[in-house]
Amino acid sequence: MTSITAGIRLEGDLVGAQTLELAGRVEGSISVEGLCHLHRTARVVGPVTAGDAVVEGELKGPLIVRGKLEVRATARVEGDITAGSVALADGCHFEGHIHMEGGGGSGQPTSFQEKRGVGPEPR
């Protein structure tokens, strides 16, 4: 797992095979094979590609998720989304288009249950 904490700013491309926990800022592309979790303090300008993703912060750019995507109430997403399944929480800001590929493999609607206040925020 890779963690970029609040207060860290990265300019350039970020590529990895594991989970990314991001609470800082990235200007450039992100590509991870595992889970990409953009925490409330995360700010990303550029394309994001991931196996699964949870967005709580800001993203300006396209988002491609091979599996499940959760856009939580605190999220601000400006860009097109392509994902297997998508759950948008009430209160999130989304500006773009959504293309779902395969429904996440289950053929059933994606349910969303936000877990507010569960677990500590990254530092």
> What phi and psi, each to the nearest 5 degrees, are found at residue 56?
-120, -20
Q: Which amino acid is at 83?
A: A
Q: What is the pLDDT of residue 27?
A: 97
Q: What is the pLDDT of residue 113?
A: 61
Residue pLDDT, tens place only, 68-103? 999 999 999 999 999 999 999 999 999 999 999 865
DSSP 3-state of 103: helix
Is residue 105's pLDDT more than 80?
A: no
Answer whether residue 110 is part of any domain: no
Domain coverage including residue 61: 2-103
CB neighbour list of residue 26: distance below 8 Å, 6 or more residues apart? 4, 9, 10, 11, 14, 42, 43, 44, 45, 46
Answer whether residue 15 is part of any domain: yes
- Total domains in the fold of the chain: 1
Residue 60 tokens, joined: 């300006």
